[in-house]
Amino acid sequence: MNSLIIIVGAGLLYIIAYNTYGKYLGSKIFKLSAEAVCPSTELQDNVDFVPTKKSILFGHHFTSIAGTGPIIGPAVAIIWGWVPAMIWILVGSIFMGAVHDFGAMVVSLRNQGRSIGDLASDIINKRVRTLFLLIIFFELWVVVAIFGVVIGAVFSIYPQSVLPVWLEIPIAVWLGHMVYKKGGNHLKLSLIAVAVMYLTVVIGAYVPIKMPSVGPFDPIAMWVIVLLIYAYIASTLPVQALLQPRDYINSHQLLIALGLLALGVLVAHPTMVAPAANFSPKGAPPIWPMLFVVIACGAISGFHSLVSSGTSSKQCDAETSSLSIGYGGMLLEGMLATFVIVACGAGIAIGFAKGGETLTGVAAFNHHYGSWIGGTGLGNRLSAFIVGSANMLESIGIPTKIAITIMGVFVASFAATTLDTATRLQRYIVGELATSLGQPLLAKKHPATLIAVISAFILAFYNGSGKGALTLWPLFGSINQLLAGLALLVVTIYLAHKKTPLIYTMLPMIFMLFMTGWAMLINLGNYYNSANWLLFCIGLAVFILEIWMIIESAVILKKVYGEDMEAVTELR
């Protein structure tokens, strides 16, 4: 299959989906109102609640949900074949992921910008709220710790990306100052900022910076320490000081990167060398249900509900803006995942240098995907995407060194956005938990952020390596997708209270809860057989929690429809 057909076909499908299914959900199911007062205006504090133009918030939202998720997941799952991966990306993003992100944002917009976990107390009951918040805390705990490792790995493998990523911070601070303090035109200024950023990319390509080892800490461990300090600072600043302007720059970076990749596909139009389907790759788990857990971002991801209801709902200027931000943002992420499939399945075949030899075609693909272990190594799957993408950039005349740097910066800067967004979200979750437990002091900004960062530091360094979160990585995918199912559960019960048709959220909810439960049972069996009692106990606790929440929710649904009551909650 020619890669150009895949890209064009996916792009057209997403445009049609947004203008049909997305707009139908907005007008007929969620009934968006342009007159509704949003939390950003009602509770404006210019720190977390800040009315923000749709175009700027779209950049923040997208770069927060994207990170490296839509890169790593598809880059791993292609080992089962590019056709099943693409089917799940397309169907999942249109009918599940976009509905999930959009629904979580709308419910939060109508309830003071509260997180989806906090809202569970009103929509389901108070017991579920605490349990839901604990699941979210666990997910964000792993995200903050693991993304430090991801960025550290990118910096170590591609040291030329270090300078541009860190110089993006003062550029973003300048942009925020000029827009919010001086009243400058955000579009013109952001284009200047992006131009300067790409100038740093060219400089970085020729000025690589390597982190030294310090005592027992290797370079990745040192990067984790630096990045956690950064995450504390960034997540406590007002959103318009760094988070929004940097994410706005990154959204432009994304569009430029996708544009360059599209040109590369148009010029090179490499043929897919990845197998169309390979249901039994060496050492891999079964494609059913693991495909739906491995590809999360790019199809549907529970983390997105935390962004939609955690930061984006606090900055959205109008209910009607949530359609393009929530639903449209997820479709754009699906498009990014499609480019990842093309880069790993076709771009890598243009050429891959290994030990003085250049591998091409199927040999280049098999170097990365000869076995499941080869496909899941962090550095291996990142390099498959970066090298495959760089190959396509080279086809339009961009020098190899600069092409590699562009894609390395792309991955690292998006991961950094997820890192400090996740830290900010964790602060909110800690605050909500502390308030519910009668500890208001711990709910304040700095104590809550300290808990978020210190807990991530403990997880990262409990074994002294800085990579401690990798121990829990096998559970992360299942818990993330469980969270997606539970977020859809909350949205479904919200719609039930509003006497709105449930099929649009209920079917994705049932699918995700079933697939997640199935995957969790497989994992529990593996953990038990290998006597990995830490993962077994955590996984079993989460599985029991899933069943508990489903039972509680089923009782509420029966009550809503069985008694035909008018309003059980104060939800708007």
Q: Which residues pair with 52 in a beta bridge?
A: 316
* Lookup: tokens for 513: 């809860």
Phi first, then psi, for residue 75 (nearest 5°) are -65, -25
User: What is the signed CA dihedral for 295, 298, 304, 307, rounded to 10 degrees?
Assistant: 140
- Which residue has tokens 């569970």? 120
- Which residue has tokens 């947004």? 18
HEC states along 361-400? HHHHHHHHHCCHHHHHCHHHHHHHHHHHHHHHHHCCCCCH
**Half-sphere exposure of 404 toward its Cβ, with a 13 Å CA cutoff?**
19
**Half-sphere exposure of 542 toward its Cβ, with a 13 Å CA cutoff?**
32
Would you tell me how many other CB atoms lie within 10 Å of the CB of residue 503? Answer: 10
- Which residue has tokens 């006597």? 531
> Residue 69: what residue type?
G
Residue 272, class by beta-carbon neighbours within 10 Å (0-12 exposed, 13-18 middle, 19+ buried)?
A: buried
Alpha-carbon distances, residue 492 vs 319, 368, 480 (angstroms)? 19, 41, 18
d(CA 561, CA 5): 47
- Which residue has tokens 């990262």? 460
d(CA 496, CA 504): 12
d(CA 478, CA 520): 6
Whether the CB-CB separation of 147 and 230 falls below 8 Å is answered with no
* Lookup: tokens for 207: 């000025």
Greatest extent of the chain over all pairs of C-alpha atoms, in Å? 73
d(CA 227, CA 145): 10
DSSP label at residue 443 = G
* Lookup: tokens for 233: 């600072």
Q: Where are the beta strands (DSSP E) in 117-276?
A: none
Would you tell me how many other CB atoms lie within 10 Å of the CB of residue 564? Answer: 8
Contacts of 544 (CB under 8 A, 6+ apart): none
Whether the CB-CB separation of 89 and 299 falls below 8 Å is answered with yes
HEC states along 492-553? HHHHHHCCCCCHHHHHHHHHHHHHHHHHHHHHHHHHHHCCCHHHHHHHHHHHHHHHHHHHHH
- 3-state class of 50 per DSSP? coil
* Lookup: tokens for 199: 């100038």
DSSP H helical segments within 207-328, as ranges?
A: 219-236, 243-268, 287-294, 302-310, 321-322
- Which residue has tokens 């050492």? 283
d(CA 14, CA 21): 10
Domain ranges of the chain: 3-563
Would you tell me how many other CB atoms lie within 10 Å of the CB of residue 435? Answer: 13
Whether the CB-CB separation of 37 and 225 falls below 8 Å is answered with no
- CATH code linked to domain 3-563: 1.20.1740.10
Per-residue pLDDT tens for 519-571? 888 888 988 998 888 778 878 887 887 788 778 777 877 776 655 444 434 45
d(CA 447, CA 364): 49
Peptide bond into 289 cis (omega under 30): yes
Per-residue pLDDT tens for 136-165? 888 888 888 888 888 888 899 899 999 999
Whether the CB-CB separation of 519 and 293 falls below 8 Å is answered with yes
Separation of first and last alpha carbons in the chain? 49
Q: Where are the beta strands (DSSP E) in 315-381?
A: 352-354, 357-359
CA 161 to chain CA centroid, nearest Å: 21
| pLDDT tens-place values along the chain, 572 residues long | 889 999 999 999 999 999 999 999 999 999 999 999 999 999 999 888 999 989 889 988 888 888 777 888 899 899 999 999 999 999 999 999 999 999 999 999 999 999 888 888 788 777 778 777 888 888 888 888 888 888 888 899 899 999 999 999 999 999 989 988 888 887 889 889 999 999 999 999 999 999 999 988 999 999 999 999 999 999 898 888 888 888 888 888 888 988 999 999 999 999 999 999 999 888 888 999 999 999 998 999 999 999 999 889 999 999 999 999 999 999 999 999 999 999 999 999 998 777 677 888 898 898 888 777 644 456 677 788 998 999 999 999 999 999 999 999 988 888 888 888 889 989 988 998 898 888 888 889 999 999 999 999 998 888 777 777 777 766 778 888 888 998 998 899 899 888 889 999 999 999 998 998 898 888 889 889 988 887 788 788 878 877 887 787 778 777 766 554 444 344 55
